[in-house]
Structure 1
Amino acid sequence: MDDNLKKILPYALFYRKNIVWNVVFNVLYAVFSTLGFVMIIPVMNVLFGEEEKVTKLPKYEGIWKLKDYLSDTLYYYINHLTEVKGAEYALYLIIGIIIFIFLLKNLFGFLGLQHLMKLKTGVLRDFRDKMYDKIVDLPVSYYSEKRKGDVMARMLGDVNEVQNSFFAILELIVKEPLTIILTLIAMFSISWELTLFVFIFIPISGLIISKIGKSLKSQSTRAQQENGYMISVVEETLSGLKVVKGYNAEGYFKRIFNESVNRLYVLTNKIGKKNNLASPMSEFLGIATIAALLIYGGTLVLQDGTLSGGAFIGYIGMAYNILTPAKAISKASYQVKNGSAAAERVFEILETPNAIEDTVQSKNIESFNDKIAIKNVTFSYNGEYDVLKNFNLEIPKGKTVALVGQSGSGKSTIANLLMRFYDVEQGELLIDGTNIKYIKLVSLRDQLGLVTQDSIMFNGSIADNVRIGKLNATDEEVIDALKIANAYEFVQHLPEGINTNIGDAGGKLSGGQKQRISIARAVLKNPPIMVLDEATSALDTESERLVQDALEKMMANRTSVVIAHRLSTIQKADLIVVMNRGEIAEQGTHEELLTKNGTYAKLVSLQSFES
């Protein structure tokens, strides 16, 4: 059994009732499908006047003689009707029975497909839930190495491929094989000599089809990877559309996209050619076998007389009845190869270990009472170079500590570690003496509020975006938070107030407006510790004044870690830490650092000159 199929089975077994009913209805479908073609024989015999003369109603003598009992019973009524009302009435009886049998066959086929549909859509739903849970749970570091478009392709396209491909196996292992087996049994009971031709056809067909599909899985994997890359290009183009247009780079991105589309076009055609070849190849081999049957069977009818004309025509119908399930099996085997390649990509994400998650030792913290301590912390991204080197810092409760320094000095890394987006490699980060690795993530982040340089907005109303800080907040609480963040001033004049939609990524708002909405979100959360990562660096002077005023209101009587680029915004901080290449160059209050006339004084002088 395919390893990926084994991994899917637990999801499918949740819908075991649908599986059981699908199997039951598929068995009945196969039985009535075979029986329908068997009934052609008495029709032909009536037409040719070759029906058996049964004049006495037979008695049931057990399961082993069921075939003879049913056959003799049918011929008894055919003879009776022929004698009483004429042969045409006997023909009407048999045709009526055939119509009823095919009605039941198609009814059971429909019911089987209904249960298969519920199974497929149910597993698809569960897969998507599981994938989204995993995508959200994986740490930020995972997405620094992965293309978001590729993750989206796995979530959408590959999961769909698994649904469409793997569940063809239920048809593959029950409905179609059973139809073939029952038909072969019926054919064998009519003529074992002719049936040998069919047994020769099946392995030859399987061998040829397996040769054609040998490389299908690897090509499917490459096609799915290319599809992920193509979606990434679209996602990046839309995210950076202003840059694309501003630099007249439309042609460059169109070329990248077209190259990806062309590669996908070539791969899809190769895969499609092999998929499309399976059905006509199996049908051609089947027709070739039927041609051989016509030649050999015709000899048995015309020369030997060992086979009646009616039985021979019914036999040919049964032989042709094998072709449809044989084609379905060959097509399903191709789909399974596609599904296996897609499942590998899905399970690659589902089975990715989460480096940052709660452990047995993790515990909740109810409040923040003393201090944050960073002790001997060394950290690097992907082990390339140390961003922080043996870093030490204490942040007492109720104090504002500002981190300043050149780009790349490690300021934002401290925010990432404090929020536990990444884990420290050496040393430890403590809150009230407890290593944050042993604090439950939800509990840790309940104590922290975050305002970043890039104000992350979601497509929805202003109220929806603010309520991320407190999901059950009332409209009054949202408005109070907006007032503290100096945002209600502009929100109240919008067409629908706090219920105004702000567009994708907040595209209908200015940078300063988005930043104040972001601050309102943090105000509504009301955490004891606030982390501000260059919250004013991208704003104009007027917006900066409003945002800075909002920040000062928010930081009052609160522990704050402020990462600042503009030094004018952190002059009131209790402690300013100047960083250089992952180490502390100097620290003190604004006045103390100016007196030292060191790195900080030079930065203040430089920014004053620029102003």
Structure 2
Amino acid sequence: MSDLLSIILNWYLWVIVYALVGFISCFLLNWKVSISYFIIVPIFIFLTQYISKPIEKQQKSLADNLGLAMNIATESIKSNEVVKSFKAENYINNKYSQYIDESISSNKLSAKIGMKMTMIKYITSLLLLLSLFFIGVFFISANIITVGQFITFVILSANVRTAIELTDSMIKTARQGTALSKRLYEFLDLELETNYEILSDENILTDDCICIKNLKFGYSDSNNIFENISLKVKHGQKIGLIGSSGSGKSSIIKLICKFYEHQSGELIFLGKDIKNWSLNELRKHLSIVTQEPYLFDGTIYENVLYGNEEATEEEIINALKEAQLWDFVQSLEKGLNSYIGESGSHLSGGQKQRLSIARAIIKNAPIILLDEPTSSLDTQSEILVQKALNRLLANKTAIIISHRYSTLKNVDYIYFLDKGKIIEEGIPELLFRKKGYFYDFKAVQEN
């Protein structure tokens, strides 16, 4: 690809050089004839620019629709069982066909505009030749230039005319490239994560591992997830976050990981403002297990290795044992080198979750963040995953989000959230005696 681009650029460069040489030579031959002839050149360039402008819009539309069509195709393949179960084949096919049809329409319209440009190019070239002929007749009759000089002028101006005739293709290509690159720049222009450097590797001594004070955060300025929220997590403590969907539980974890930055308030991590932590140093202290574990296309061994690329095979085996997955791995023909498929498609939900826990175990970070790790599992899988989580959480600080009491029964402290506010907090036993929100939460699940 780079070689092809190099050839095209070199070709255009030589065309420009020949045009400049011809242009300068024409002026040296006779500046009056040159001015009279080349004054009409900007008119041609303006016309091609004006007519080619819609090409950019159509190419942008083409790229957008093709991207949407590819997304639908990819998602329908990944979720083929869901599509089949809902009998959504026709709906998916119609949406896919709609975007493809719109892509074809955009491409056809772009081609029509290109044809217009080609037609205008030839008409303008003819006008240039006719103009040159009349200019020549006028200046020869006025004895300003001889016939021989005029013939030389025609030959030299041919290089300039060739460059002008190629201008439309250059502009068309540039328009198409601009339209397609805009989609790329939309991604490249996303705000980068701020990676501050910490001044010292030493942590400030404090009882609090994580301290949040009057925190305000929203994914947009007009939609705050929570305001003035405060909580603490002490070293070695395990706290539970409970609340309805949208109450801000997962947002707290995302802020601790610095996936986003809060608008106001304080988030102190190991005694320092989280804004002063570099991303690499901060995330060395964290391991996260989510509701939908993301696994990479590769082997079991490779997926565990993402947690610690320097881990030995023995350490990986131990992590899989602690995650209650080693017996399953041993039953596979290729063992650790077994291919798990895209996003772990060859594994069950419980196996995928235990593999993600093994990845967290091998990282051995001091702070564990769990976001609904058992919510989508059946009872048998939950038992195995809970055993794996118990090994992961041993001697660690943890923040656990869950709608299941079984996942929270060993936490030291509970925060109950609703609509971005903490409506109840305390030690689980005391909250249960209080017969408030936590009491109702536990009673409903036990019944």
Normalised to the residue count of structure 1, the TM-score between the two structures is: 0.63
Distance 1:199 1:409, change over 3 A: closer
Structure 1 equivalent of residue 141 of structure 2: none
| Structure 1 residue aligned with 2:100 | 261
Counterparts of 1:381-460 in structure 2, within 5 Å, are 381-460=219-298
How many Å separate the matches in 2 of 1:567 and 1:495?
38
The match for 1:594 among 427, 432, 437 is 432
- Between 459-468 and 409-418, the greater mean CA deviation after superposition: 409-418
Q: Find the aligned partners of 1:468 and 1:555 in 2 and give their Cα distance.
A: 19
CA distance in 1, matches of 2:320, 2:267: 33
Q: Give the AA of the match of 2:302.
A: D
Any residues of structure 2 matched to 1:163-312 within 5 Å, and which? 172=12, 174-183=13-22, 199=38, 202-203=41-42, 205-283=44-122, 285-286=124-125
In 2, Cα distance between the equivalents of 1:184 and 1:385?
61
Question: Could you tell me how far apart the structure 2 residues matched to 1:385 and 1:237 are?
Answer: 32
- Please state how far the C-alpha of 1:181 moved relative to its aligned partner: 4.2
Of residues 325, 330, 333 in structure 2, which corresponds to 1:492?
330
Partner of 1:532: 370
Query: Is the 8 Å Cα contact of residues 365 and 444 (structure 1) preserved in structure 2?
Result: no
On the 8 A contact 1:176/1:326 being kept in 2, the answer is no
Q: Structure 2: 5+ residue runs without aligned partners? A: 138-145
Task: Give yes or no for the alignment of 1:507 onto 2:345.
Answer: yes
How far off its partner does 1:532 sit?
A: 0.9
**Cα separation, partners in 2 of 1:198 and 1:269, compared to 1, 3 Å:** farther
- Distance change in 2, residues 1:410/1:196 (3 Å): closer
Once residues 438 and 177 of structure 2 are traced to their aligned partners in structure 1, the CA distance between those partners, rounded to angstroms, is 60
Q: Normalized per residue, which structure has more strand?
A: 2
- The offset of 1:452, in angstroms, is 0.5
Specify whether residues 330 and 584 from structure 1 end up closer, same or farther in structure 2 by C-alpha distance, changes over 3 A only. closer
1:342/1:461 CA distance change after superposition, 3 Å: same
Change (3 A) 1:195 1:478: same
Q: Offset at 1:436?
A: 1.2
Q: 1:435 to 1:325 in 2, by over 3 A?
A: same
Q: How many residues of Structure 1 are paired with residues of Structure 2 in the alignment? A: 441
Aligned-residue CA RMSD (Å):
3.8
Change (3 A) 1:214 1:601: closer
Query: How far, CA to CA, are the matches of 1:288 and 1:426 in structure 2?
Result: 66
CA distance in 1 between partners of 2:205 and 2:326 (Å): 30
Paired residues of 1:378 and 1:386 also in contact (CA < 8 A): yes
Aligned 8 A contact 1:403 1:579 in 2: yes
Contact 2:48 2:168 in 1 (8 A): yes
* Separation in structure 2 between the aligned mates of residue 323 and residue 264 of structure 1, nearest angstrom: 35
Identity %: 32
Inter-partner Cα distance in structure 2 for 1:191 and 1:460: 72
Q: CA deviation at 1:209?
A: 2.7
Deviation at 1:188, TM superposition (A): 8.6
**Alpha-carbon offset, residue 420 of structure 1:** 1.9
CA distance in 2, matches of 1:583, 1:197: 77
Within 2, Cα distance between the matches of 1:117 and 1:385? 46
| 1:583 partner letter | K
User: Bigger radius of gyration, 1 or 2?
Assistant: 1
Counterpart amino acid of 1:251? N
Contact 1:398 / 1:558 at 8 angstroms: preserved in 2? yes
| TM-aligned CA deviation for residue 534 of structure 1 | 1.0
Compute the displacement of 1:405 (Å). Answer: 2.8
**Residue 530 of structure 1, CA deviation:** 0.6
CA distance in 1, matches of 2:356, 2:227: 32
C-alpha change, 1:187 and 1:391, in structure 2 (3 Å) is: closer
Match of residue 387, structure 2, among 549, 562, 571: 549
Give, in whole Å, the separation in 2 of the partners of 1:281 and 1:566. 71
1:470-519: CA deviation from partner (whole Å, max 9, x where unpaired): 12222222111111111111112222111111111111110000000000
CA contact (8 A) 2:299 2:339 kept: yes
CA distance 1:508–1:195, shift in 2 (3 Å): same
Residue 305 of structure 2 is aligned to residue 478 of structure 1: no
